[in-house]
Amino acid sequence: MPITWCKDCSESIFDYDGARPHKCPPAFLVWYEGHGDDPEVDHDVVHSHDAESAAEKWAEESDGQGDYTIVQGSDETVKVRPRDGGAWETWTVSGETVAQYSATKVKATP
Ligand SMILES: [Zn+2]
């Protein structure tokens, strides 16, 4: 089954022969003051289902483009509003690292 990614919202699209056509979730504007002074201009557009998940998605994407400061414990404050209009809401985003372990079999030495 081919998997592609929507160029508008970057969600993965599973192509069930068009049985369930992809529909982008609504767009939110996310403004972080480190990116500019004017929320109406200096925002990122994030497609998500609500303001909370938009803020989380923004944090995930922007943290990965930077130095992972959020996941290292440095919370950031962003403002979020629907692109279609509405009031800006202030959200604090934070992250955490998750411990992950793996095992690799060591070959016996003769
Ligand atoms: Zn989409």
Ligand 1 centroid to residue 11 C-alpha, Å:
6
Poorest-pLDDT segment among 5-14, 17-26, 62-71, 81-90: 17-26
For the chain, domain boundaries: 24-93
Compute the distance from residue 108 Cα to the ligand 1 centre, in Å: 50
Q: Which residue has the tokens 């690292």?
A: 97
49 CA to centre of ligand 1 in angstroms: 12
How far away, in angstroms, is 73 Cα from ligand 1 center? Answer: 31
Please tell me the distance from the alpha carbon of residue 30 to that of residue 52, in angstroms, as a whole number: 11
Residue 2 above 80 pLDDT?
A: no
For residue 22, report the phi and psi dihedrals to the nearest 5 degrees: -70, 140
Tell me how far the alpha carbon of residue 110 lies from the centroid of ligand 1, in angstroms. 56
pLDDT tops 70 at residue 18: no
Would the pLDDT of 20 be above 80? no
What separation in Å is there between the alpha carbon of 26 and the centre of ligand 1?
9
Q: How far does residue 106's CA lie from ligand 1's centre (Å)?
A: 45
| Predicted local confidence at residue 1, as pLDDT | 55
Q: What is the pTM of this model?
A: 0.77
Confidence of residue 35 (pLDDT cuts 50, 70, 90): confident
- 64-87 residue pLDDT tens: 888 889 989 899 999 999 999 999
Are the CB atoms for 6 and 22 separated by under 8 Å?
yes
For residue 23, the CA-to-ligand 1 centroid distance in Å is 6
